[in-house]
Chain A
Amino acid sequence: MVIRIAAVGDVHLDEDVVGRFRPALEELPECADVLLLAGDLTRHGTEAEARCVAEEFGGLAVPVVTVLGNHDHQCDQVPQVVKVLEDAGITVLEGNGVVLDCAGGRLGIAGVKGFGGGFAGRCASDFGEPEMKAFVRTTTDSADRLGAALRSLDCDMLVALTHYSPVPDTLAGEPLEIYPFLGSYQLGQAIDSAPTALAVHGHAHAGTERGTTPGGVRVRNVAHPVIKQAYSVFHVGDQLDTDQVSPIGQSGSQRSWS
């Protein structure tokens, strides 16, 4: 069983970008069963920018599944943005999942935007001022919904889609001081609570591509400035051509503080 997954995040569309991705997107059916968008589809989260996303990523020959990112929340037009995307046939996930019938099997995708908070031993705590507790509880709630969505899907292969990072590995290259604004270990914990095959995220423009959760799930940062191509393609499965298999031992960067 092999399922072919294309993914990109942080495309930040507006009128000045429409058309740049389309030639590469037209090639998708040849190399992928689905396209995942890891949030930050727009610059400011306006309905007009969402229409640019719909024009660029709508009407493709493969299903498109997305989560929103922090930029997509900037103008408080999330319902309008979601509607424009859904009208274009794009599935928008937030605390839920979808199962797609692919040639290689049933692909389950669960998604949330996620939030910050930091990573084990160096994270924010649910303690003190109301603002601090609200910050941490936003992350906890998001991670809980991701975990529940992942565990609820009946499928052959499970993928987690977030905007914020579930691990510090894929943040390597970002200043350590801003890690708590880039992701949370709780997202990783949620991913490890289910038999997840792959976790895909964006948000960290200066990060790196590869990492793993403490539970051994492969994590890929597909932020456009990181992958420097229209999208990355992952062939996930157990019947791969062994000559081309990437050993798990080569993946992931070292934790900066270890």
Chain B
Amino acid sequence: MSQLRKSLKANPIIKFLASIKITVVCLILLFILTLWGTIAQVEAGLYEAQQRFFYSWYFLVLGYLPFPGARLVLWVLFINLTANTIKRFVYKMSQIGILIIHFGLMTYFFAAFVTFHEVQESYLMLKENQSSNVSVSYHEWELALWKKTKEDKREVLAFDSNHFKALEMYPFLPFNIDVQVKSYYPNAQAYVNQEGNNEYLNASGIQSLQAIAKDKEPEKNIAGGLFEIFHKGKKLHTIMLYGGEIQGTSFIVERDEYFLMLRRKKYELPFTIHLNKFDMSVHPGTEIPRHFQSFVEVEHQGLKREVLIYMNEPLRYKSFALYQASYSLGQNGDKYSTLAVVKNRGHLLPYISSLITFLGLVIHFMFMAFKRKR
């Protein structure tokens, strides 16, 4: 083992990769990115700043100067740390703190990787006594198509539409219908034609769309687009859709009625949530909310249980967690509770990383204090 380590230690590539200069440079870059990314949030908003500074491999400053994004810097740091486990670290009792700290940091990289690629965020808004097993995305959109049926069940087919481009063709195979994107706007305003001579099919009377700049807060963007329906290679309809509509637009293909709708992406949950009751209280004499909570019933394959969800007390179910996010009151006093739905299989990983690294720090600085006294 030690022979292997010796030969690895001598390896010039590992030697280079393990350089502490790389560590320091990466840490400084991360420092700059964090500071810059914070200040940029004032103008660009949290979401855009996250994408540009933290989730990117690199980005361009002033349009031409490339600057590494946090994603790249963290990968380099991870490689640097891995190389150091071979080259630099001294596996001795006195170094145990340092080793634990860096092992803990390794688990952070793993946790970040899993979370970054796994997490799925959506929400569920329920009126009292309403049930649902479908949650809705905050800012992802989809183009959904379904056939009108007499049963209360329906099969919906949908394509993620966030990256739609003009002239792309999407086949809805089971229905033998193809939809071609004529134009697509991530954020748009819709206009109704007053004169009544409608050029496009639309359930709400919308006849023109105007693209507008994306909002700072991505959930405020409302997508819109123009789509053409093809059946057996023949163009049948042109449909204009807008994300702000509450109903799909119907069209006929071979005597069957279908619906096409541009809507926030929906996720099917493996359980059904029924909101029994929603309660809120404010600090007396003020509008400051003190507490709010939802009494829900979770149903999974016929098995029901009651759960109370409130601030800092989410409902956890498999890899899902449901949080009390906000609430609203309807016009006739109906209470709506909004539950944030987060699916994250790696949710416990950062807990473990925190614990390990913190223990390492404590052990290391205790060791140092102890050593000094001796």
Q: Answer whether A and B are interacting partners.
A: no
A residues apposed to B, CB below 8 Å: none
